[in-house]
Structure 1
Amino acid sequence: MDKRILALVAAFGASLIYGINHTVAKDVMPNYIEPFGFILLRVTGAAALFWLISVWGPKEKIDTKDWPRLISCSVFGMVINMLSFFKGLSLSTPINSSVIVTITPIIVFILSAILIKERITFIRTFGVLLGFAGALGLVLFGQEMQQNAPNIALGNILFIVNATSYGIYLVLVKPLVAKYHSFTIMKWVFLIAIVINFPFTISEFKAVQWTTLPFDAIWRMAFVVIGTTFSTYLLNIYALKQLKASTIGAFVYLQPLIGILYAVVVGADKLNFIRVTAAGLVFLGVYLVTKTKKEPKISTEGNSSN
């Protein structure tokens, strides 16, 4: 199969998991684990998995000049991003979180043009705006879930911090992806994340009653560690080898759509004409952002391999 198609499938897979995660993770907090304690579980579990699979990867040494960027990727992608999202999710609603993260593509789009010189075209700009309109429509006309949401305003602000931080991470990690194997990048950024997150998260982690957790909480925690953390970061880092950072960012628009579809499947929500129309806008927007036009290669600057 074509590498670009595989990369698109990987990006879609990551968005699929993220979309489901908004509800899965919400249902386990704060009854069984507080948000910051959940983050320590996430980064520790993912770090262990990445170091384990790195045995089958190349033995690469990180250049001294790349360590500041690697640490920055950890700070924005596995510290600020995760802490703000899970804290926000404990205060607000899954539907709010799934729509607010859709500002990520806009942030990535702008930063990619400024920092790594990705080309801005009318079609891709139009796709970003179209996808945003569709994602916004899904929420504006969606049924809000207000239970277990003690401070929606603060939670929504934290979602904005989360989306901005993750957008910065996608742009920062792009040059590293072109230079190192995915396993090498992930094992180090998650190990660094454990060290940075530890003082903020250890107290809530220790408060968890691990021996009395019901199966419903255990499988949700496992989903967040193995699916939402390990799998999604691996899928996105693979996709970044073939796609632009802004293209990966555009897949965030699928999250509110997936979240609503998941709610429909489990019987918690229903489809209507407005939602179907909004979903169509999301798919069209993602298509426009991800489609490519074959052009003569005059310069390597802006290529997906940068």
Structure 2
Amino acid sequence: MKSRSYAIVALLMVQVLYGLNFTFAKIVFNDNFVGPLAFVILRVGGATILFWLVSLFLPKEKVDKKDYFKFFMAAVFGVGINMILFLKGLQLTTPIHASAIVTITPVIILVLSAIVLKEKVTKLKVLGVILALGGALALTIYGKSTRAADNVFLGNTFIFLNAIAYSIYIILIKQLSAKYHPFTFIKWLFLFGFFLVLPFGIGELNAVEWQSFTPAITFAVLFVVVGATFGTYLLNPLALTRLKASTVGVFIYLQPVIAGFFAMFMGVDTIDAIKIVAMLFIFVGVYIVSYKPKQKSV
């Protein structure tokens, strides 16, 4: 029971980090300190260094040669496609729009889990997904943001494709997390991912004027690299070892709530009755999906 509780706490931490990430990353883009493709290299490169450094202090685990291809494919969807489309999309759209579209991810994961992992989809789980989706859509449709967006339609399209890539990644690492310790495959995931994204962002990275960074921008970049990348990619697989992939996916519905509160704290959004009701729907939906009834003793 405790291990399941720890997994749920880990998932909540992931959503907090991701929820704050929408605004922090957007701040860096809006002020033109770092381009989205250069930011991808910073995220992946920084996390790669952290994962490999930490792995030096952990027991070594032998990897089957046939699984390296699985690591590579997870890197393609979970690092390369996922991060490039997310940060490029976030540059073009708003944090609230982005957090709205991300809520489609649990639906994709639920379908893939039933097809690939043969997970049982109960009526209660479907009800939880519908409640959470309804609340998330209501929250984000009525949400307002004063942040500039160059091309909302294109940005939203990139975020939607990012959600599909992330869903495939969750299914892939669900299978790997049952076989390896999270650090074993994540360090390889990011190493492969770094070489995948490097050609796309090296030009933007060379154009970054590091001396122009303010303390606030430096903090935002470090938060995205250490918290929203290293932290989330470490905690998600740990949660997957104790929870179903579809359960992990539905927690994404919390991101609009967190992103909305943080946007209000930063002065770019307001609270009203509709948003409060929407948030309640999200919390109830997440609870229903994560609820595991006690087994009756025979």
TM-score over 0.5 for the pair: yes
User: Which position in structure 2 is the counterpart of 1:194?
Assistant: 194
1:23-172, aligned counterparts within 5 Å? Answer: 23-29=23-29, 31-145=32-146, 147-172=147-172
Percent identical pairs in the alignment equals 46
CA distance in 2, matches of 1:60, 1:205: 34
User: Which position in structure 2 is the counterpart of 1:218?
Assistant: 218
**DSSP-derived class of the 1:27 partner:** helix
The Cα of 1:144 is off from its aligned counterpart by 3.3
2:145 touches 2:268 (CA, 8 Å); kept in 1? no
CA distance in 1, matches of 2:59, 2:177: 14
User: Which position in structure 1 is the counterpart of 2:16?
Assistant: 16
CA distance in 2, matches of 1:119, 1:55: 38
**DSSP-derived class of the 1:150 partner:** coil
Q: TM-score, normalised by structure 2?
A: 0.96
2:3 touches 2:242 (CA, 8 Å); kept in 1? yes
**DSSP-derived class of the 1:143 partner:** coil
Q: Which runs of 5+ in 2 are unaligned?
A: none
CA distance in 1, matches of 2:206, 2:288: 47
The Cα of 1:211 is off from its aligned counterpart by 2.4
Q: TM-score, normalised by structure 1?
A: 0.94
The Cα of 1:295 is off from its aligned counterpart by 4.4
Query: 1:156-189 CA deviation, whole Å, 9 max, x = no partner?
Result: 0000011111011001111110111111111100
User: Which position in structure 1 is the counterpart of 2:173?
Assistant: 173
**DSSP-derived class of the 1:156 partner:** helix
Q: Which runs of 5+ in 1 are unaligned?
A: 298-306
Alignment length, in residue pairs?
296
The Cα of 1:11 is off from its aligned counterpart by 0.4
User: Which position in structure 2 is the counterpart of 1:272?
Assistant: 272
CA distance in 2, matches of 1:84, 1:65: 28
2:77 touches 2:168 (CA, 8 Å); kept in 1? yes
Root-mean-square deviation (Å) = 1.4
**DSSP-derived class of the 2:157 partner:** helix
